Amino acid sequence: MIARRLGLPVVHSNLVIEGGAVEVNGSGILLQVEAVTMQRNPGWSTDSMEQEFKGIFGVHDIIWLKDGPVDDTWYMEPRVHGNVFSQGTGGHVDEFCRFVNDSTVLLAWPDDADLSDSLQLITRRRMEVNLRILEQFRDRSGRALQVIKVPTPEMEFNPHVMNAARSYDQMLLKDNEDLQVGDTIRYIPAASYLNFLLTNGRVFVPAYWHEGEPASMKEKDDRMQAVMKKLFPDRSIVQVDPREINWRGGGVHCWTQQQPTDRSK
């Protein structure tokens, strides 16, 4: 509908991919995640998917990151660890790795102080693999990417009592034989500082701290705000609390979509 109103062409593809699953730098490089892309497209080979990406997005370099953070575990296979479950996407790139210019990416990186948390440790190990992939990449001119590590939010949990009347719980009970009606599980939100929204004059950046909550949460919020102010000096940095969206498996970037423009006019 938007394309029709703006008089823009529509490109059709049989490749299954969501908006938050790809990230481009505007200069021919595309980031995506193997865990998501392969799961959504079981009948495609890697080569055929790369050719499709190149045709759709006009890119020439495709970076295959490995896995996303643990709190973005796919909602159809949601068990993360023990009695912890997620309702995420399976690893959308906009949750943990974003371009801020054509040669710089931000990468989610749990602090050393957080690694006593087993879930943060899992995410850290996954990000270490992704970091190696990013550091090894060279574009057509031989240029490397600059990688800036940013914090991950504090882990939050929402207890839920298994209910046979709830259809999603029925699926969990069927797929997890150790669970029974009445058991309490814990959900984690898809929380991330990197699910920010870049607009013409502002950057809407997630922030989590509220009065009465741990000072460590505010320190991370402030650290992320400082990073974004340095990277986007010509834009206002607006902090927003995305918790309600996070509990539904996404963030501000997930729930929005940029409107294209025809630069030839």
What are the domain boundaries of the chain? Answer: 10-246
Class of domain 10-246: alpha beta
The pLDDT score that the predictor gives to residue 78 is 86
How many CB atoms sit inside 10 A of residue 46's CB?
A: 12
The pLDDT score that the predictor gives to residue 263 is 67
Mean pLDDT is lowest, of 39-53, 145-159, 248-262, for: 248-262
The pLDDT score that the predictor gives to residue 262 is 64
Q: Which residue has the tokens 């950046």?
A: 205
Long-range contacts (CB closer than 8 Å, 24 or more residues apart) made by 76-80: 77/175, 78/172, 79/176, 80/119, 80/188
The pLDDT score that the predictor gives to residue 76 is 86
Mean pLDDT of 240-247: 95
Specify the pTM. 0.94
Q: How confident is the model at residue 265 (pLDDT cuts 50, 70, 90)?
A: low
Q: What average pLDDT is seen over the chain?
A: 94
Residue 264: pLDDT over 90: no
Residue 261: pLDDT over 80: no
2-55 residue pLDDT tens: 888 888 888 899 999 999 999 999 999 999 999 999 999 999 999 999 999 999
Q: 66, 81, 71, 86: which is closest to 128 by C-alpha? A: 66
Q: Which amino acid is at 239?
A: Q
Say if CB 95 and CB 108 are below 8 A apart: yes
Q: Which amino acid is at 183?
A: D
Both tokens assigned to 195: 């699910």
